[in-house]
Amino acid sequence: MNTPLQLVNIQKHFKDGDNEIEILKDLNLSVEKGEFVAVVGPSGSGKSTVLSIAGALQSADGGEVVINGRDINQYSDKDKSDVRLKSIGYIFQAANLVPFLNVYDQLKLVTELAGDWNDETKKRADDLLESVGLANKAKKTVQHLSGGEKQRVAIARAFMNDPDIILADEPTAALDANRSKEIVELIAKEVHDKNKAAIMVTHDESVLHYCDKIYEVHDKKLRLRK
Ligand SMILES: Nc1ncnc2c1ncn2[C@@H]1O[C@H](COP(=O)(O)OP(=O)(O)OP(=O)(O)O)[C@@H](O)[C@H]1O
């Protein structure tokens, strides 16, 4: 069985004026199918950097990002775009929906972009909206939804292309405590039901019990919290 996501000896520096600042050093992580992993750590420790490297949104300076058994550093730009669109579902702090589209069309758009809008994916859109409790709001423009509802749309959209990997960066940052629990519970349910490999970056200790493993950024690496 292939591990969907492996980070191997990841290195990352940023330039700060004339200085090079090392953010990640020899960082390793594997996430298996059906595993929902949390990444926690102090502000500025590199959590979002780990996620964006795992999601092919920025490159590492060294190491391998292995998605379904292949190092994506070897991919052409086109193949990397394809991986982002089809193998990874992203959920961000702000839901990042398209303002003037209705709920249903947010889902349709990403699948049309993947060239995959057909009877099967239409049914998937209906099923996902049902599972996030938004079937009755499918035709609503997203501007008129609450923060929690927008995040539900973002969750459904992230699963729409049936990706192997789900990456969520502070998905509850804009929500109150009750909504935060609902949203993370929903991500956990979808990840476990659909057997995805998922990473969530969060500050919110109250939602960690929904995760199967918790990693802390420590000394530029990830350390399993026992
Ligand atoms: N593009 C960039 N250029 C320069 N420095 C950067 C860049 N992106 C991130 N950094 C720096 O790298 C460090 C890690 O940033 P990152 O956003 O990964 O941290 P984080 O743990 O997610 O923080 P937070 O919890 O505050 O969101 C920070 O010091 C940040 O200022």
pLDDT 10s digits, 178-226: 889 999 999 999 999 999 999 999 999 999 999 999 999 999 999 999 8
| Residue boundaries of the structural domains of the chain | 5-224
Report the DSSP pairing between strands 5-16 and 62-67. Answer: antiparallel
DSSP state, 205?
G
**Residue 226 is encoded by which pair of tokens?**
């026992």
What CATH number was assigned to the domain covering residues 5-224?
3.40.50.300
- Indicate if ligand 1 lies below 6 Å from the C-beta of 23: yes
Q: What is the rounded CA–CA span in Å between residue 47 and residue 37?
A: 13
In DSSP terms, 155 is beta-bridged to none
Ligand 1 centroid, distance to 44 Cα (angstroms): 5
Mean pLDDT score across all residues of the chain: 94
Q: Which helix (H) or strand (E) holds 204?
A: none
Q: Are strands 36-40 and 197-201 parallel, antiparallel or unpaired?
A: parallel
pLDDT category at 175 given cuts 50, 70, 90 is: confident
| pLDDT per position as a tens digit, 200-209 | 999 999 999 9
The predicted pLDDT at position 34 comes to: 97
pLDDT digits (tens, 9 = 90+) for 75-130: 999 999 999 999 999 999 887 899 899 999 999 999 999 999 999 999 999 999 99
Tell whether ligand 1 has an atom less than 6 A from the beta carbon of residue 46: yes
Whether the CB-CB separation of 200 and 39 falls below 8 Å is answered with yes
Measured from the CB, is residue 45 less than 6 Å from ligand 1?
yes
Contacts of 114 (CB under 8 A, 6+ apart): 85, 86, 161
Our answer on whether the CB atom of 41 is closer than 6 Å to any ligand 1 atom is yes
Question: Which tokens hold the place of 146?
Answer: 């609450």
The secondary structure element, H or E, covering residue 170 is: none
Question: In this predicted complex, what is the ipTM?
Answer: 0.96
